[in-house]
Amino acid sequence: MLFRSPISTDQHARFRSANWHTIDIDGHNPDEVAAAIEEAQKSDKPTMIACKTTIGYGAPKKAGTNKAHGSPLGDEEIAETRKALGWEYAPFELPEDILDAWRVAGLRSTKARVEWDERLNGTKAEIKAEFNRRFAGELPGSFDRTVQKYKQKLADEKPTLASRKSSQNALEVINGAIPETLGGSADLTGSNNTDTSQTPSITPDDFSGRFLHWGIREHAMAAAMNGIALHGGLIPYSGGFLIFSDYCRTSVRLAAIMGIRVIHVWTHDSIGVGEDGPTHEPVEQMASLRAIPGLLMFRPADAMETAECWQLALESQHAPSGIALTRQNLPAVRLDYSEKNLCATGAYDLIPANEAEVTIFASGSEVGLAVEAQKMLDGKGITTRVVSVPCMELFFEQPEDYQKAIIGNSPIKVGVEAAIRMGWDTFIGNDGIFIGMNGYGASGKGPDLFKHFGITAEAVVEAVENKRA
């Protein structure tokens, strides 16, 4: 139902243009409300019921004014409203006829639930077990073995890929192993790489697919994903550009409040976007999303980390996730197979070193840059370790001893991320070196922009040497 505000938009025309059925009623008339609901139930289209109402209806002085919305009515106005509405009952007292109607509805629903349980129990055992697994939010028992096999393949091949492509490759494995994933994209499928061989499109004539083309509707997409997750039985994921995550923010925040599993794939995650320029190059979005309590924000460094981050997002039954991915190719930095999901701790030693004079912390595409800088510094006799930080939120959930060990006591700490500094002082301290962005991007080829903004291995080495001087 749509309770109309005094606006000039013709909501009926707007909804009818989207092939909805619309009904116009007096929202204060119970008979009209009941009739409209019955009419909607008979329609083969979604229905918008526009209820014409008066805010504060019945209040003699405040009805139809903003005072009925923004402040209490007050005892005198409440008493007069009761008289105007003919309501003679005390506060929190419900008339017996209303209570009886609700109790009858409850009995009807109880009977319907018993009949539903009987149908479920009469289903074949394997179908019932699969149904119960999906609605319990549990992943298939074979999923971890599938991931381990895929990680072994990545360790053997060591691919150089854009992490958006690494994500698609991981999804090819995931969607084959987890039949309840439901993919989609906001008109950016070819850029987000969220489709796989197992995800034919859902169309107006065929709902058997596993991929929704949302169009340029990021906000609606994120909101609908929340509804799908709350219904249960499906794991929704979708694609968009990281810069457009701002359109999704209210629904992402609600997902975090509700603690539901929705997964947002946000690609084109930095100035590496290139020629699209500053309007499409996110710089503050990672910090902004990390600020949402309860949201897991991943930024993997290569194909191995991308697979692990996807595994963690899927296993996080009671938290939404965002996965920030690159447009540009990334070298493999995780070269060996590990049965353990190293990304699960949020930050870990990628290149350890005893009594390191320098520790470089980095995420995503800048981890490869950190590895280059480490080699250059080691060549100069400056002992350096590298810590990959794929998920700050998971790191902050670790025991204090682990956090202290990862942050370490190197006299020189460097944070590297093609984004703003906010959030990195936890790792590097107020006096640490940060190599990143402090303003907006520019239009140009991605590699040229990294050089232009000083986000290079050479810049890290120079900053370290200046700090030591």
Encoded amino acid at 256, one letter: A
Quick one: average pLDDT of 386-407? 98
pLDDT of residue 3: 55
Q: What are phi and psi of 158, to 5 degrees?
A: 50, 60
Measured CA angle at 327 (ends 322, 330), to 5 deg: 95
The β-bridge relationship of strands 329-330 and 358-362 is unpaired
The whole-number average pLDDT for the span 362-367 is: 98
Dihedrals φ, ψ of 325, to 5°? -130, 155
166: nearest Cα among 365, 448, 369, 392:
365
Please choose, from the candidates 200, 262, 192, the residue with its C-alpha nearest in 3D space to the C-alpha of residue 225. 262
The pLDDT score that the predictor gives to residue 242 is 98
Q: Is the pLDDT assigned to residue 413 strictly greater than 90? A: yes
Task: Concatenate the DSSP letters of all residues of 444-457 into one string.
Answer: S-HHHHHHHTT-SH
Contact 194, 207 (CB under 8 A): no
Question: What's the average model confidence in pLDDT over 167-195?
Answer: 98
Mean pLDDT of the chain: 96
Provide the β-strand partners of residue 265. 239, 323
Task: Dig out the tokens for 308 from the structure.
Answer: 């692990």
User: Active-site residues: which are they?
Assistant: 218
pLDDT, tens digit, 9 for 90 and up, residues 231-277: 999 999 999 999 999 999 999 999 999 999 999 999 999 999 988 89
According to DSSP, the residues that pair with 414 across neighbouring strands are: 360, 433
In the block, tokens 């019921």 appear at 49
Task: Answer positive or negative: Cα dihedral of 410, 411, 417, 420.
Answer: positive
Q: Given this model, what pLDDT does residue 295 score?
A: 98
> Is the pLDDT at 2 greater than 80, yes or no?
no
- pLDDT tens by residue, 13-37: 999 999 999 999 999 999 999 999 9
User: Phi/psi of residue 194, each to 5°?
Assistant: -95, 0
Rounded CA separation 468/278 (Å)? 34
DSSP assignment of 410-445: -SEEEEE-SS-STTTHHHH-TTSEEES-SS---SS-
pTM: 0.93
- Band the pLDDT of 469: cuts 50, 70, 90: confident
| Residue 4 reports pLDDT greater than 70 | no
Handedness of CA 189, 193, 194, 198 (dihedral sign): positive
The backbone torsions φ and ψ at residue 212, rounded to the nearest 5 degrees and listed phi first, read -105, 125
Instruction: Tell me the per-residue pLDDT of 55-86, one tens digit each, with 9 for 90 and over.
Output: 999 999 999 998 988 889 999 999 999 999 99
Closest listed residue to residue 218, CA positions, set 193, 238, 190, 235: 238
